[in-house]
Amino acid sequence: MNYLPNIIFAIALIVGFGYFARNVKKLVRNIKLGQDVDVSDNRSLRWKNMINIALGQSKMVKRPVSGFMHVIVYVGFVIINIEVLEIIIDGLFGTHRIFSSVLPEAVYGFLIGTFEVLAILVFVAVVIFWIRRNVIKLARFWKSEMKGWPKSDGNIILYFEMVLMTLFLIMNATDLHFQEMNTGNIISQYITPLFSGMSEGAIHFVERTAWWLHIVGILIFLNYLYFSKHLHILLAFPNTFYGRVNNKGELNNLASVTAEVKMMMDPDADPFAAAPEGAEDEVPAKFGASDVQDLSWVQLLNAYTCTECGRCTSECPANLTGKKLSPRKIMMDTRDRLEEVGKNIDANNGEFKDDGKQLLGDYITNEEIWACTSCNACVEACPVSIDPLSIIIEMRRYLVMEKSDAPTELNNMMTNIENNGAPWPYNQQDRLNWKNE
Amino acid sequence: MSEQLNVPTMAELMAAGKTPDILFWVGSAGSYDDRAKKITKAFVKILNKAGVNFAVLGTEESATGDLAKRAGNEFLFQMQAMMNIEVLNMYEVKRIVTCDPHSFNCLKNEYPGLGGVYDVVHHTQFIKQLIDSKKLDIKESDYKGKQITFHDPCYLGRANSEYDAPRDVLSALNANLVEMKRSKATALCCGAGGAQMFKEPEKGDKDINELRTEDALKTNPDIIATACPYCMTMMSDGVKVKEKEAQIKVMDIAELIASSQNL
């Protein structure tokens, strides 16, 4: 009977990590639905980006207020989780604060003291985050795409963190043995008096409850990630690694188009020649992207990484002037559609069954796609190297090359380029006239 | 025109057995747009003054295809690119300078993959080089003490991380350079990019160039400086909408340099 808590703890761990692993597998499968893209270049720059941008939070602090608080929550989250290691060992082996008997008392006290200070700082930062969202109502958290689940999601995460930090401090405050040690209880010693009226047994019960809720809460939070924008705490790392390494202005040249254009321009090419062996497979199903499977896996990873902070949208010239385009919505739509496709595959024994829907049209409208100025403000603003512009361009490619569905003025402009080598209807022979005007 | 501009073409130089040090890529706007042509001419005056051995393609130049690419027409872009690359490679062009950040970006970043590898510089970078190497001597300028704010073109700034060259050139004028609240990496687009220049904007509550002009007006400028023919159109229109064209001039950096030296 003595082993019952250990067994329950082990089961909780297995269920918690097991379900998470199952969802991570699904996540990887969904990301791999994207087109393959070569990311083997610029290894050292990629590592540097990951270390600076994800680990070092270099882009977060471009906005000092939210950046500073984010660093607190981030550092707190990472460091306090060292404590989880102790909790897991204690839970599995029935020990109590195993590190306190392994480590010198001063070291243990220093560690826990650090955690306590961080816990209170995280709590304060999270409260300020909540106030920014719900009381000050910062515009970027109240855009039209932030209704319903995205809005609740943002708040639920904050509540989770508040509760977890509170439980951690209560757990320490009601651990009478730990309080007697009187080292590392920098914050919790002020919480202990709140329980002074209670019997020792009752206080112990509170301590056990807080301990259990804390670890179970962490496991629930871990599993919440897959359903939440909060996935960025994991995916920011691969995303900054696989993010753009060339100049932001460079759009990729479609290799499939290059092949066709070269053939068109080659006077010796035989237009009626049969395609070489195997060439059939190389021709893409379509130019550009109308659905998530047409995007690259990096773009799909981008979508899962997006934490809906809205820094992109708050810098987007189209959005700032009241147009429908919101780069954040492009990423949210991409993720929503990808999830829908993933569920479709789950429901149909691993095969995607056409559901008559696609990302472009059912989620993202042409109006949004055509409002973009390709200015890269969204790409620059993203703290985790997401590139909404590349998705917009892929959809324009689809609209123009597959559907001939560009705004009329743009079609006129393109006809002019085709006929006169300029976007206006001027004769190419007049191109140097300015010299003598 | 009081004085004749010296604008040799590649074909003329080739016929004379000469090769220029650099090709001036005029671009479609610089060739045909009335306002942008003034920028082109100002830049040529600077090139002439500094004794730069340059040439243009003239009637052999065609649109880079950048606009088509941003509008989603990759076919048209690559056709334009390959035709241009054929001409450029035929003349064995090594260096290119252009006043258009869109051409700059396209030639620099998107042509290499299609066989067109050149050392491409923007005219603000080139003018800076001329000043630094003393080929262009900036004497007393009419703009001393004038309040100038610089609008970063997206395709020079964010797209290619060039924020300093235009500012360095402006500082040579001894003007009072004031930054807009949104500048450099966070500069607001003028609204022309991504082929927007050629279509009506989508429904909204304001035009982008108006918002950007408001940014500029907040600095109380005598002059709004630009370095892109499309930004020029947008900012000029914005100033007109705000009915400030009598007080505030919109000028390209090449024009500021040329006029300050009475070229």
Domain locations along chain B: 10-129, 138-260
Q: Could you read off the pLDDT of B167-214 as tens digits, one per residue?
A: 999 999 999 999 999 999 999 999 999 999 999 999 999 999 999 999
pLDDT for position B241? 97
Res. A271: pLDDT tops 80: no
Q: Does residue A226 sit in the same domain as residue A262? A: no
Q: Could you read off the pLDDT of A91-108 as tens digits, one per residue?
A: 999 999 999 999 999 999
Res. A53: pLDDT tops 60: yes
pLDDT for position A282? 55
Chain A and chain B share a number of CB contacts under 8 A equal to 217
Compute the mean pLDDT over every residue in chain A, rounded to the nearest whole number. 94
- Looking at the domain B10-129, which fold is it? Rossmann fold (3.40.50)
Contact flag A432-B7 (C-beta cutoff 8 Å): yes
Spatial strand order of the sheet with B54-55 comes to B54-55, B22-25, B95-98, B119-122
Average pLDDT over residues A272-291: 69
Rounded Cα distance between A299 and A304, Å, is 9
Q: Which of A379, A305, A381 is nearest to A63 (CA)?
A: A381
Contact flag A374-B193 (C-beta cutoff 8 Å): yes
Res. B17: pLDDT tops 70: yes
Res. B139: pLDDT tops 90: no
Enter the ipTM: 0.95
Res. A279: pLDDT tops 80: no
What is the DSSP pairing of strand B119-122 with strand B95-98? parallel
Q: Does residue A387 sit in the same domain as residue A294? A: yes
Residue for token pair 């795409």: A145
Rounded Cα distance between A332 and A146, Å, is 10
Q: Which of B94, B92, B100, B91 is nearest to B66 (CA)?
A: B100
Same fold, B10-129 and B138-260: yes
Q: Within a domain: residue A278?
A: no
10 Å Cβ neighbour count for A282?
11
Cβ neighbors of A97 (< 8 A, separation 6 or more) are: A86, A90, A108, A175, A177, A178
Do A380 and B185 form a contact (C-beta atoms < 8 A)?
A: yes
| C-beta contacts of A188-197 below 8 A and 24+ residues apart | A188/A116
Confidence of residue B1 (pLDDT cuts 50, 70, 90): very low
Res. A298: pLDDT tops 60: yes
- Domain containing A310 equals 255-267+285-426
Average pLDDT over residues B44-58: 97
Tokens of B108: 């620099």
Q: Which of B252, B257, B248 is nearest to B226 (CA)?
A: B252
Strand partners, B252: B226
Taking every pair of Cα atoms in chain A, the longest distance, rounded to a whole number of angstroms, is: 100
Rounded Cα distance between A241 and A39, Å, is 9
Q: Does residue A328 sit in the same domain as residue A379? A: yes
**Integer CA distances (angstroms), A15 to A20, A219, A289, B209, in order:** 8, 9, 39, 56
In a 13 Å sphere around the CA of A387, the CA atoms on its Cβ side amount to: 24
Which residue from A246, A406, A422 is facing B71, i.e. has the nearest CB? A406
Res. A283: pLDDT tops 60: no
Contact flag A288-B70 (C-beta cutoff 8 Å): no
Average pLDDT over residues B237-244: 97
Compute the mean pLDDT over every residue in chain B, rounded to the nearest whole number. 96
Q: Give the distance from residue A73's alpha carbon to the nearest chain B alpha carbon, in angstroms.
A: 26
Is B134 part of the contact surface with chain A (CB cutoff 8 Å)?
A: no
Tokens of A299: 């773009």
3-state DSSP of A50-90: HHHHHHCCCCHHHCHHHHHHHHHHHHHHHHHHHHHHHHHHH
- Cα B41–chain centre separation: 12
Average pLDDT over residues A192-201: 93
10 Å Cβ neighbour count for B156?
27
B16: burial class by Cβ within 10 Å (0-12, 13-18, 19+)?
Answer: exposed
pLDDT for position A384? 98
Q: List the 10-39 stretch of B: residues with Cβ below 8 A of A.
A: 26, 28, 30-33, 37
For B86, which residue in chain A has the nearest alpha carbon? Answer: A265
Q: Find the helix or strand (DSSP H, E) in which B90 lies.
A: helix B74-90
**pLDDT: which is higher, A432 or B261:** A432
Number of domains in chain A: 2
pLDDT for position B262? 83
The last residue of one of the domains, among A213, A230, A247, is A230
Residue for token pair 């040439």: B55
Residue for token pair 């691993």: A350
The last residue of one of the domains, among A215, A230, A245, is A230
Rounded Cα distance between B205 and A263, Å, is 46
pLDDT for position B3? 65
Give the E-state strand segments of A116-213 in sequence order: none
Q: What angle do CA A161, A153, A344 make, to 5 degrees?
A: 130
**Integer CA distances (angstroms), A330 to A333, A393, B137, B198, B206, in order:** 5, 12, 50, 24, 22
Q: Could you read off the pLDDT of B145-165 as tens digits, one per residue?
A: 899 999 999 999 999 999 999
Q: Does residue A262 sit in the same domain as residue A178? A: no
Residue B155 DSSP code: T
Residue for token pair 């993203």: A382
pLDDT for position A49? 97
- Using a CB-CB distance cutoff of 8 angstroms, which residues of chain B are in contact with residue A393? 70, 72
pLDDT for position B2? 47
Q: Could you read off the pLDDT of B58-93 as tens digits, one per residue?
A: 999 999 999 999 999 999 999 999 999 999 999 999
For A244, which residue in chain B has the nearest alpha carbon? Answer: B159
pLDDT for position B108? 98
- Using a CB-CB distance cutoff of 8 angstroms, which residues of chain B are in contact with residue A253? 74, 78, 110, 113-114
Is B63 part of the contact surface with chain A (CB cutoff 8 Å)?
A: yes
Q: Which class is B138-260 in CATH?
A: alpha beta
pLDDT for position A3? 87
- Which CATH number do you get for residue A259? 1.10.1060
Q: Which of B234, B206, B199, B232 is nearest to A396 (CA)?
A: B199
Rounded Cα distance between A99 and A89, Å, is 9
Do A377 and B186 form a contact (C-beta atoms < 8 A)?
A: yes
Is B70 part of the contact surface with chain A (CB cutoff 8 Å)?
A: yes
Q: Does residue A294 sit in the same domain as residue A389? A: yes
Tokens of A155: 């708040």
